[in-house]
Amino acid sequence: MANVYVPTQLLEIFKKTKKKIRIEMRDNAAIACSTILQHGGKNAFLKRDGKDWDQEEWALIPYDAFKIRRNAIRPTLELLIKNSIITCDGMASHPKMPKAKRKNFGPNRSNGYRFANTIQESDLVPYPLREIRTATIVVPSPKVAVRNELTPTQQIIADKMLQIDADYQVIKRVLEDSKLSIAESQHQHFLAERITQKQFYAVQSSTGRLFTSLNACPKRLRTAFNVKGEAMVEIDVSCCNPLLLCYVMKDNSQVTFQDRSKFQAWTETGRLYCVIAAALGTERDSVKTAILSYFGGPHEFSDARLQSNLKKEKDLLLHGEIKADFETLCKIADWFDKTLPTIAQFLAEWKKGPSDWWPAEGKRKKKFGGDKKGPYAVVSRTLQKLESQVIIEDCCKNIFAKYPDAVISTIHDAILVPASFVKPTETELRSSFASLGLSPKIKVSCPLA
């Protein structure tokens, strides 16, 4: 038998409802209070009258820290909240909140709790447990869940993921240095934990792109990946989709040689976003985000579309960002009309789509799911199909043919490789683009120190 510390108010509740609260529930409630005390420190007893609480002021506790069976956590926390022993940070932590509406993710999500305002540190007294329960953690066996049929090359990439390890200490350090909300932090912790346990997934989209667990991980976390202790780096093709547009326009008589040559020079040197940003007097990152909407979205950008986006977004804080992105998008469209008019006209005609678009779109939705897109989506889908063909079915296929033991993974227009395998990968990548008559600028990220 062991002792834990609980508020005297909880013991009073036990006395009043002795027959209704079974011994196991009492032990679970005592363990929960003790866990909040141990993990929360001073935050467990913070007091505030009539004011909202900041997220950082709560005692953040992962579910696994409670050392209670999962199906007993929610009723235990509900009991403590109902009897004003503890309080939680609103919708994110309340045990009755449906999983689909919770603000945080994963089995190890951290939830914010503290003791009620009426409870002081002086109220704590020892409480004897029948026995100390420990959560049994079962480490699942490594696997790759394939959600639909992959091509042979994609299947090799998926299988190779099992040889990729993640340094959880590096991930923890990266997340601590990042300014993230609680929900973002917990979501990224969950992704990192799944990758650390080698619980991967791989799925092919309708455009041939390969979506994997590594794609879902933010770029800052990918630097924690390694193969047999060797850090992995990311080999990225600058301005990839705009560059592939050069190949699509190659034999089109509608686009003048002058416009095509200027556009290709900017994309091959990776300067397209900087050139547009300088002309518009804005930041490169805002141009990079908006230009993908220019290529893959409707060609006419109206106020009605802006208002629709504002209406859909419930977070009022994001309305300013939506308006700024829309203004940048309109400026980019105007820049193309004035600087590269034949390319702008080519895109406008292309976005009208084929005559059988909607029947084909219905079949695509039935097979792959997702929302139906207008004919304008033909541009982004064509470029993504071409990207998948070059990166996966050409470059990666050639790498595996020459180096069967190579461990690589794709991140759409980038390839993740061990640091010692950069040069062979870069050579094959340049060769694949050269077959299309293109010479891309290739960037290599550095691993974390």
pLDDT in tens, 176-210: 777 766 556 667 777 777 888 888 999 998 889 99
Provide the edge-to-edge strand list for the sheet that holds 210-212. Answer: 143-146, 199-204, 210-212
The answer to whether 232 and 418 are in contact (CB under 8 A) is yes
Phi, psi at residue 7, to the nearest 5°? -70, 145
Residue ranges of the domains in the chain?
Answer: 2-129
CA-nearest of 163, 158, 290 to 215 is: 158
The answer to whether the predicted template modeling score (pTM) of the entire model surpasses 0.85 is no
pLDDT digits (tens, 9 = 90+) for 39-80: 877 778 877 665 666 655 777 777 777 777 767 788 888 889
Rounded distance, CA 413 to CA 238, Å?
9
AA identity, residue 399: I
Contacts of residue 210, Cβ cutoff 8 Å, sequence gap at least 6: 150, 154, 157, 158, 202, 203, 204, 388, 392, 410
Rounded distance, CA 413 to CA 390, Å?
9
State percent of the chain over pLDDT 70: 86
Residue 78: both structure tokens together: 């509900």
Residue 268: both structure tokens together: 């091959």
Q: How many residues does the chain have?
A: 449
Residue 85: both structure tokens together: 């022993």
AA identity, residue 143: K
CA-nearest of 399, 391, 401 to 424 is: 399
Mean pLDDT of 318-341: 88
3-state secondary structure at position 261: helix
Q: Which band of pLDDT confidence, cut at 50, 70 and 90, is reported for residue 108?
A: very low
**Average pLDDT of the chain, as a whole number:** 84
The β-bridge relationship of strands 59-62 and 110-115 is antiparallel
In this prediction, residue 416 carries a pLDDT of 94
Please report the DSSP string for 264-279 in residue order. HHHHHTT-HHHHHHHH
Rounded distance, CA 36 to CA 39, Å?
5
Mean pLDDT of 116-133: 82
Rounded distance, CA 329 to CA 295, Å?
10
pLDDT digits (tens, 9 = 90+) for 247-277: 999 888 899 999 999 999 999 999 999 999 9
The β-bridge relationship of strands 143-146 and 199-204 is parallel
Q: Which band of pLDDT confidence, cut at 50, 70 and 90, is reported for residue 107?
A: very low
Q: Is the pLDDT of residue 340 over 70?
A: yes
Cα Rg of the chain, angstroms: 27
Q: What is the largest CA-CA distance in the chain?
A: 87
Give the CA dihedral 233, 274, 269, 392, nearest 10 degrees: 50
Q: In which residue are the tokens 């929610």 written?
A: 74
AA identity, residue 448: L
In this prediction, residue 373 carries a pLDDT of 85
AA identity, residue 156: I
Segment 173-177 long-range contacts (CB within 8 Å, at least 24 positions apart): 174/220, 174/221, 174/223, 174/224, 174/448, 175/221
